[in-house]
Amino acid sequence: MTRWRYAAATDTGLVRQSNQDAIYVDDRLAMVADGMGGHAAGEVASAMTIDLVRDGFEVRPTVEGLYNAINAANLAVLKNAREDPAHFGMGTTVIAVGLTSDGDGVTSPTLFHVGDSRAYQLRDGALRQLSDDHSVAEEWVRMGRLTSEEAAVHPRRHQLTRGVGVEDTIAIDVISLSAEPGDRILLCSDGLSNELDNDTLARLSSVPFTLEESVAQLMESAREAGGRDNISAVLLEFDEVQVAAAPIKRTVTSNPPPVALRPNVAASRLRRAKRLTWRVWAALALLASVVVGFFVVVHWYAYSSFYLGSDAGTIAVYQGQPSGVLWYKPVKISDTPYQASQLRAADQQALAATISEPSLEAALHWADYIHSQYCHYHSCRTGTGTTTTTTPTHSTTTVRVTTTTAKGG
């Protein structure tokens, strides 16, 4: 079991018009939040954070519960700032000590910290700072770029590197406190720590002063030193302390929120998808027309000419290329009344090799001619005959064929 007593106060100071600090303390939780933002926004951020963290820790008084409560406050402040233009840019620091329970019934003090509010531990009159300021100047001190003296007057000493309600993710320093009965813990906003040096803080916060006397002296001394900012102090004194079985000292960063496409990004991707679809359809249409065009051209070429050939001794007219084109084979479209044997020897040889003609009429005319040439020297039957023709599409038509009359003899 860990028990403490406490005293606390907050003050507007002598310069600011309003108090944007917020504090809270009870038997299990102590907090200071220093709000920032124009008009009343800073007050909103610090008050929201104090309320949400208190409520969250009340439901789940564990390290995870307090961490989750600060994380929830971060998201809530951020959401409010985004939705309400009057609260744009608001945020807050938070520094809290909670008596957190573990699974074995041990209740130990744990410090949670974001921003530049501070926690100090006082033992036997000595002061030790427990928290690192999350400000640009103090980060540079830790990196070795500035000395503490340079940081104290640096123009970026008030510029925070972390805060509640600043970003979707938040990094929280979580530290298990190692305390003894009689130790005091001071939580304060920078309105106190900027006005009073460490020696003054240590002297005023320690015994023999009671907790109430110490807090009153701290507030009054900060005002006397200038009171240029809001001043807040929460002072705890341990009567009994348990130590965490598994002490923690680390910075815990919340998970980034799920990626949600902004409407304009989504619309842009939709437009791109539509453009892509249009192009795909255009490409498919072009490909289809090329394929169809290929078949049309091949079909036209395959059946664009005629030739004479022999079919079982009869001179016949075929449409197509003698050797075929791809899968398009020549088609017999007409038998003539002439026998291949009734041709001159040279014409018989030519017929055997097929005789090409540009049209059906030309082919029939040439058949008449070469037959008449044979009959010019031989006795041939003359007259008019009718023959059946077949088109490549297998429909049936009738072509009238007139044989020539043999001349002379």
Structure tokens that stand for 243 in this block = 């130590």
| Rounded Cα–Cα distance for residues 104 and 60 (Å) | 15
Check: CB of residue 308 under 8 Å from CB of residue 316: yes
Which amino acid does the sequence have at 408?
A: G
Size of the site for Mg ion (CB under 5 A): 5
Phi, psi dihedral angles at 282 (to 5 degrees): -65, -40
Nearer to Mg ion, 229 or 237 (CB): 229
Site of tokens 């990004």: 265
Nearer to Mg ion, 165 or 320 (CB): 165
Q: If we measure between CA atoms, which residue out of 321, 290, 288 comes closest to residue 305?
A: 321
* Smallest separation (angstroms) from Mg ion to the CB of 222: 11
Whole-number minimum distance, CB 92 to Mg ion, in Å?
10
Beta bridge partners of 50: none
CB closer to Mg ion, 41 vs 179: 41
Closest CB to Mg ion among residues 139, 190: 190
We find the least distance from the C-beta atom of residue 256 to Mg ion, in angstroms, to be: 29
Site string for Mg ion, 178-207 (x = CB under 5 A): -----------xxx----------------
* Least distance from Mg ion to the Cβ atom of residue 190, Å: 4
Closer residue to Mg ion in complex, CB, 11/183: 11
The Cα–Cα gap between 7 and 213 comes to 9
- For the record, the structure tokens of 138 come out as 């103090």
Nearer to Mg ion, 229 or 347 (CB): 229
Comparing CB distances to Mg ion, the nearer of 192 and 317 is 192
Binding mask 225-264 for Mg ion (x = CB under 5 A): ----x-----------------------------------
Are the C-beta atoms of 68 and 60 separated by less than 8 Å? yes
Q: Which C-beta is closer to Mg ion: that of 138 or that of 190?
A: 190
Which two structure tokens, joined as six digits, stand for 105? 């019934």
How far is CA 300 from its chain centroid?
A: 54
Using CB atoms within 10 A of its CB, is residue 407 exposed (0-12), middle (13-18) or buried (19+)? exposed
Task: Give the chain's end-to-end CA distance (angstroms, integer).
Answer: 142
31 contact partners, CB below 8 Å, separation of at least 6: 22, 23, 24, 25, 50, 53, 54, 94, 95, 96, 187, 234
Residues 6+ apart with CB under 8 A from 134: 93, 113, 114, 115, 116, 160, 161, 162, 163
CB of 189 to Mg ion, least distance (A): 5
CB of 231 to Mg ion, least distance (A): 8
Beta carbons within 8 Å of 262's beta carbon, 6+ residues apart:
none
The nearest distance, CB 16 to Mg ion, in angstroms, is 9
Residues 358-397 that bind Mg ion (CB under 5 A): none
Question: Closest approach of Cβ 178 to Mg ion, in Å?
Answer: 28
- Tell me the per-residue interface mask from 17 to 56 with Mg ion, x by CB under 5 A, - otherwise: -----------------x----------------------
**Which amino acid appears at position 300 of this protein?**
W
Of 53 and 222, CB closest to Mg ion: 222
Its sign, for the CA torsion 89, 174, 2, 125, is negative
Q: Is 139 in the site for Mg ion (CB under 5 A)?
A: no
Nearest approach, Cβ of residue 194 and Mg ion (Å):
8
Q: Which is nearer to Mg ion, 16 or 299 (CB)?
A: 16
CB of 115 to Mg ion, least distance (A): 9
Rounded Cα distance between 370 and 380, Å, is 13
Interface positions with Mg ion (CB under 5 A): 34, 189-191, 229
